[in-house]
Amino acid sequence: MRRSTTVYLWELAWILPSIAIPVGMLAALTVTAFGAGIHLPSQESRIVPTKVDQTPPFDAPGVREVGPGRYEVVLTAQIWSFAPNEVRVPAGSTVTFVGTSKDVVHGLLIAPAKANVMLLPGQVARVTTRFDTPGEYPMLCHEYCGIAHHTMWGRLIVEPAS
């Protein structure tokens, strides 16, 4: 009798957390998604992936000043590079990346700036971030995209504000 009570308590000690942990995670997900409105960067619009070169604005990738201290980077990803592969902005800039892929699934990660988005063929992604500290930031592809995935990176250079 005494022995089976011990077993029962041990089982309970495992069963209760294994119910409580998923319930807690689901609650956290619900609160952040619907309460705080936190979500992944999502699809902005669609594009025909085989016609990226002919579709504005991706027919002219590059950096544009869209307002005082505001820049837009139109970015295409293709095996195994970004266009443009180097971006220069002054410190204190707010930069919006508008990107898509011309072939397979790629990603764009600028870790210190907390920019992290997938670049999917057929979809346009948009992510906005701010660069206050001058320096060189690697722009990495962080989705495996083939044999030379590890060579797919560019640089974002934040120049001291004049």
Residues 89-128 touching ligand CUA, rule: CB under 6 A, are 106
> Residue 127 CB, nearest distance to ligand CUA (Å)?
16
**Does the protein bind ligand CUA through residue 72 (CB under 6 A)?**
no
- Per the omega criterion (within 30 degrees of 0), is the bond before 84 cis? yes
Among 4-12, 16-24, 84-92, 145-153, the segment contacting ligand CUA (CB under 6 A):
145-153
Strand pairing of 81-83 and 70-78?
antiparallel
Place of tokens 């495992």: 14
Q: Which stretch binds ligand CUA (CB under 6 A): 10-18, 45-53, 56-64, 142-150?
A: 142-150
The tokens for 29 are 């997900």
- The neighbour count for residue 88, using CB atoms within 10 Å, is 13
- Asked if 145 is part of the footprint of ligand CUA (rule: CB under 6 A), the reply reads yes
Do 131 and 111 meet the contact criterion of CB atoms below 8 Å apart? no
Nearer residue to ligand CUA within complex by CB, 74 or 152: 152
Q: Exactly one of 52, 63, 97, 143 binds ligand CUA (CB under 6 A); which one?
A: 143
Closest CA to 59 of 74, 37, 78, 48: 74
Sites of contact with ligand CUA (CB under 6 A): 77, 80, 106, 141, 143-145, 149, 152
